[in-house]
Every structure is written in C-alpha cells, then in structure tokens.
Amino acid sequence: MGPDSAPDPPVPWRKVLWERQPFPDNYVDGRFLEELRRNEGLRQYHYWAVVKEAGSVGQQLSCVAIFITVWLYMEQGLLSPEVLLLTSLVCAMLGYGLHQVLASTVDSGDEPRTRLADLQSAAIFLSFTYGFSPVLKTLTESVSTDTVYAMSAVMLLAHLIFFPYTQPSPPGSLSLNAALFASVCLASRLPGALHTFAMLSCALLVFALWPCLLQRLREKAPSQFTGVCVGMCIGGIGGLGSQSLVGAVLLALALGNVTFFCPLLLITLQRQKDNIQGPWDEAEIHEDLSHFIQ
C-alpha cells in the first residue's frame, strides 16, 4: 500500500503507534517523502587543503626513507657511528630549543615538563641503550638476514599505517613500537655495538621526537610546517636516490600519489556521494539533562 495505491480515506492518517487507525500497517500518505533530506551535514573538501593535510603522510613516508638511507650508509661503512651520534646530538639540541620556543607560545592547561625532567629522561634512555647495545647487537644472530629484513619491512609498514597523522604528538604506541622494533632488527645487522647504539639513538630522534616537534610547527607555524614537509620529501628522495635510483623513483611516485592523486580522487568521489535521511531513520531523543548533573 502507498500514497498512489488508493485514494486517501476521509479519516486523516496520523503517524502514531499508540492509536488504532483504519489503515494497513505499511500505509503512508503523500507527506512521507516531504521529509526526505539529502547529504545532510556533508563536508565540502577543497583540493589544496586536502593536499596540505596529505603532506603529513608524505613527510612520514620520507622519514622512513631517510632512516633506511642512514642505515644503508652505516652498513656499507660510508658513515661512522661517531659522526651519526654527533649529528643526532646537534639535531636533538636544535629541535629541543625550537620546541621550547614554540611550546612557550601555546596555551595549555597541562603543567609543562621541566628541562631537568627532560634531561633525566634522555640520560636514562641513552644509558640503558648504550648498556644493552652489545645484547641488541647479538639479538638476531640466530635469525636469517632475509627474515630480519622481512620483519623490518613489515614493522615499518605497520608504523606508517597506524601512525596518528592528525595528532602525532605523542606518537601512537603501536606505530612507535613497530618502528623501534624494526630499528632494533636493522641495527643488529650493523658491524659493532657502537653502530647499534648510534642507530637506535637516530631511530628515537626520527620516530619519537620528530613528530612532537612537527606537531608544534603545525599548530604555531603552518607555513613553516608546509615547507618542512616539502623539505623532508625532497630529502627522502635525494637520500634514497644516492643509494638506489629505482628506490628514489618508487618513493617519488608514492609521494605523488599520496599527496596529489589521492586528494583528487577524494574530491571526485565526494561529488558522487548521495546520502539520504528521512522519517524511516531511528528516532533521536534530544533532551537537556544538565539539571541532573551537579
């Protein structure tokens, strides 16, 4: 039965359940479709705004590429652990200073950490990492190299999939643990314990501390954030290109797809979206319960 199956009876139909009416259970009148609503609350995306947000994915992919490049240089003996440690220390100090400057301009209700607490945390991590470096160096001796490389690739892929791109500070526990696990696997294939310690220190800088600084830049300096993302992508392609031209080309294609093609696909598919709401939806009860809360 429907509005066109029979003329409306003289008694008007009411959309109620508690009253018996002379109509079939599936009867509706002509006003039923008047409450039809299409695409209610639909968000309209702008291409370049989506491209800017996709830059976070691209720069994180470039971070992984840069980390792999550093590991390749150390494995081939082209980069000494002393140079990597010194470079990591300088970058950490510069990044920490910039982070403190940006943090001082952010209004936050949380009590800020003191510099002494940060220094203690860094000292504890470096001490334990340095002390366990000989153990970590021999951790995967009984595992074949192919298996280690496969586990590292899977863990880095998991890091990229589960990384909290919208709020990377602090990094997600799953993505951070996956990245550190991959770092331990790769560092165990380096020549000495000092190499392992330097590689793990670099991993902490790239996967744990860098996202925190990037989030501050995103909040307080959006234009600089965009420039940093572009610089990271160029650095990732250039670094990987110094080791493998094919790898650099594949990374460039991946960055192009993630940054430019996927936002275009999202905008195109957004125009085809057709979502309808009407009286057939579940009832929503909106009631002010604030007077019950004390």
Instruction: Give the per-residue pLDDT at 291.
Output: 54
Confidence band, pLDDT 50/70/90 cuts, at residue 99: confident
Instruction: Give the per-residue pLDDT at 8.
Output: 53
> Same domain, yes or no, for 91 and 183?
yes
- Over the chain, what HEC string results? CCCCCCCCCCCCCCCCCCCCCCCCCCCCCCCHHHHCEECCCCCCCCHHHHHHHHHHHHHHHHHHHHHHHHHHHHHCCCCCHHHHHHHHHHHHHHHHHHHHHHHCCCCCCCCCCCHHHHHHHHHHHHHHHHHHHHHHHCCCCCCCHHHHHHHHHHHHHHHHHHCCCCCCCCCCHHHHHHHHHHHHHHHCCCCCHHHHHHHHHHHHHHHHHHHHHHHHHHHHCHHHHHHHHHHHHHHHHHHHHCCCHHHHHHHHHHHHHHHHHHHHHHHHHHHCCCCEECCCCCCCCCCCCHHHCC
> Same domain, yes or no, for 140 and 242?
no
> What pTM, to 2 d.p., does this model score?
0.78
> Same domain, yes or no, for 90 and 142?
yes
**Distance between CA 87 and CA 22 in Å, rounded?**
84
Q: Which of 175, 194, 216 is the last residue of a domain?
A: 216
Q: Does residue 156 sit within a domain?
A: yes
Q: Does residue 33 sit within a domain?
A: no
Do the beta carbons of residue 63 and residue 236 sit within 8 Å?
A: yes
> Same domain, yes or no, for 202 and 122?
yes
Q: Does residue 1 sit within a domain?
A: no
> Same domain, yes or no, for 149 and 208?
yes
Domain hosting residue 163, numbered range? 80-102+115-216
Confidence band, pLDDT 50/70/90 cuts, at residue 180: very high
> Same domain, yes or no, for 205 and 93?
yes
Instruction: Give the per-residue pLDDT at 128.
Output: 86
Q: Is the pLDDT of residue 196 over 70?
A: yes
In this predicted model, which residue has the larger pLDDT, 249 or 100? 249
Number of domains observed in the structure of the chain: 2
Q: Which of 4, 2, 28 is closest to 15 using CA atoms?
A: 28
Instruction: Give the per-residue pLDDT at 261.
Output: 94
> Same domain, yes or no, for 237 and 208?
no
In this predicted model, which residue has the larger pLDDT, 237 or 113? 237
Q: What percent of the chain has pLDDT over 70?
A: 87
Q: Which of 176, 201, 216 is the last residue of a domain?
A: 216
> Same domain, yes or no, for 243 and 198?
no
In this predicted model, which residue has the larger pLDDT, 45 or 257? 257
Mean pLDDT of the chain: 84
> Same domain, yes or no, for 212 and 233?
no
> Same domain, yes or no, for 207 and 84?
yes
Confidence band, pLDDT 50/70/90 cuts, at residue 68: very high
What confidence tens digit (pLDDT) does each residue in 123-137 have? 888 888 888 888 888
